[in-house]
Amino acid sequence: MATKVIMPKLSPTMEEGQISRWLKKEGDKVSMGEPLAEIDTDKATMEMQALGNGVLRKILIGEGQAAPLGQLIAVIGEPDEDIASLLSEAPAPPQVQEKKEPDAPPQPQDQKEADRPPTAPNVAPANGRQPQAADSGRMIVSPLAARMAAEAGIDLRSLQGSGPGGRIIKRDIEAVISKPAPAPAPSYVQHAGASVYRDEPASQIRQTIAKRLVTSLGPVPHFFLTAEIEMDRAAEMRKGINALDPDLKISINDIIIKVAAAALIQHPQVNASYQEKIVRYYEHADVGVAVAIEDGLITPVVRAADQKSLSQIAAEVRELAERARSKKLKPEEYTGATFSVSNLGMFGIDEFTAVINPPEGAILAIGAMTAKPVVRENEIVIRQMMRVTMSCDHRVIDGATGAKFLQTFKKILENPLYLVV
């Protein structure tokens, strides 16, 4: 089998090496451990030894030429072996490392080191990421540092180890933990059960708005938007669906949840929450549904309501509400909503304002649906009207942003066919 000869790491700080002299010519017999070439590193001229037996078939980097670490510089093989496929790889990218090539110690003859399994792959998956060879070879990290990094969600590849040979050790992890976390790059993160979200750095103006509004209006600076919505078509749809299958028992509130979720997906700025120095945007609409219980109120969460059918939402809300009343909800079932809906229509409330459930960005207060005279095409007609008031967290939602969301919500609810378009 042919052996690739790659530019070895012959000094701890070496990034590339220059071939000073080839000690073998193409066609010469070479055996394992025999000096093959002299290489100028950033520090000294070092001898490179052959890591395979056979014939030096091809020299790819001539004397006086330089190659980065890991690049294919020659091929050792049997005299009649086909090495075309190996040659086609040249010049190999630096991270392609010949398996037998020792990378940590400066002495290429240390074969034992090369036989050890690399540390990095044991570590990186703990961060939920694929292991990746570092430019200069495997990552060296103490077991404790690896565990601490995994627990703190620190990407080891972002660190420079301060231990011997660049080993990442406890104090390197502690230094990162004690430092204020840098604003994370926008990327989606998945927590068990809850919605996927991405964190984006809050802009300076957003941070300033946040600070000022908090100091002027209390911990969560609310503002309120009210709209009156014509509910005839929604009511008609509900009646129609329930006529198909009385077991479905779809309520107006279920339709509101579904519509809110659809509108949230169209307005991601509203499906968001303000956290210290970041604004968190959720990918799914996890809608909290306020349920009155004996000594207070609780908001069980319909996860990913945007992806559920009306019948699923109806069944889920019914089931959650029942267990909420019997106080059998698990904590993960009533926390972590991205938006909430509170409905006091059944109490005959025309309109009201609800208090946001932090860290959600908004809550929608639903009033009673009542028949009212309204003007349509210059005529007074009777319509089922419902007033909704959205409370917004001004740190994350501005007036126009909330208004646009409410506009969409109203449009869909007045024309529920949009749900299927």
Partner 1 sequence: MAIITIREALNQALREELARDEKVFLMGEEVAEYDGAYKVTKGLLHEFGNKRVIDTPITELGFAGLGVGAAMAGLRPVVEFMTFNFSILATDQIINSAAKMLYMSGGQFNIPIVFRGPSGSAFQVSSQHSQAIESWYAYFPGLKVVLPSTPADAKGLLKSAIRDDDPVIFMEQERMYGQKGEVPDDPDFTIPLGVADVKREGTDVTIVARSLTVPLALKAAEQLQEQGVSCEVIDPRTIRPLDIDTIVASVKKTNRVVIAEESHPICGVGAEISAEIMERAFDYLDAPVKRVSGVDVPMPYAKNLENLAIPDVNRIVAAVREVAYLD
Give Cα 202 distance to the centre of its chain: 17
HEC string of 207-271 equals HHHHHHHHHHHCCCCEEEEEEEEECHHHHHHHHHHHHHCCCCCCCHHHHHHHHHHHHHHHCCCCC
- Span of 2-10, 140-148, 395-403, 412-420 interacting with partner 1 by CB under 8 A: 140-148
- Span of 57-65, 161-169, 221-229, 379-387 interacting with partner 1 by CB under 8 A: 161-169
Q: Which of 170, 191, 211, 239 binds partner 1 (CB under 8 A)?
A: 170
Among candidate residues 191, 222, 284, 394, the one labeled active-site is 394
Alpha-carbon gap, residue 242 to 44, rounded angstroms: 84
Query: Would you say 129 or 171 has its CB closer to partner 1?
Result: 171
Q: Does 164 bind partner 1 (CB under 8 A)?
A: yes
- In residues, how long is the chain? 421
Query: Would you say 145 or 225 has its CB closer to partner 1?
Result: 145
Buried b (16+ CB within 10 A) or exposed e, 34-57: eebbbbbbeeeebbbbbbbbbbbb
Alpha-carbon gap, residue 135 to 140, rounded angstroms: 13
Q: Does 116 bind partner 1 (CB under 8 A)?
A: no
Alpha-carbon gap, residue 137 to 53, rounded angstroms: 24
Query: Would you say 64 or 153 has its CB closer to partner 1?
Result: 153
Q: Does 105 bind partner 1 (CB under 8 A)?
A: no
Q: Does 143 bind partner 1 (CB under 8 A)?
A: yes
Taking the complex as a whole, the smallest distance from the CB of residue 143 to partner 1 amounts, in Å, to 5
Query: Would you say 96 or 169 has its CB closer to partner 1?
Result: 169
Cα distances (angstroms) measured from residue 313 to each of 190, 215, 287: 22, 39, 10
CB count within 10 Å of CB 218 equals 9
Q: Catalytic residue at 394?
A: yes
Name the amino acid, one letter, at 351.
Answer: E
Number of residues that bind partner 1 (CB under 8 A): 12
Q: Which of 163, 201, 268, 359 binds partner 1 (CB under 8 A)?
A: 163
Nearest CA-CA partner of 119 in 91, 144, 90: 144
Q: Does 146 bind partner 1 (CB under 8 A)?
A: yes
- Span of 17-25, 164-172, 177-185, 259-267 interacting with partner 1 by CB under 8 A: 164-172
- Span of 87-95, 143-151, 249-257, 371-379 interacting with partner 1 by CB under 8 A: 143-151
Sheet holding 16-22, edge to edge: 45-49, 35-40, 16-22, 66-68
Q: Does 142 bind partner 1 (CB under 8 A)?
A: yes
Token pair of 13, please? 């700080």
Taking the complex as a whole, the smallest distance from the CB of residue 112 to partner 1 amounts, in Å, to 15
Query: Would you say 27 or 143 has its CB closer to partner 1?
Result: 143
- Span of 138-146, 213-221, 239-247, 258-266 interacting with partner 1 by CB under 8 A: 138-146
Q: Which of 147, 157, 222, 323 binds partner 1 (CB under 8 A)?
A: 147
Give Cα 215 distance to the centre of its chain: 32
Q: Does 171 bind partner 1 (CB under 8 A)?
A: yes
Cα distances (angstroms) measured from residue 65 to each of 56, 109, 146, 292: 18, 23, 39, 78
Q: Does 162 bind partner 1 (CB under 8 A)?
A: yes
What does R_g of the chain's alpha carbons equal in angstroms? 33
**Which residues of the shown chain bind partner 1 in the complex (CB under 8 A)?**
142-147, 162-164, 169-171
Give me the active site residues, please.
Answer: 394
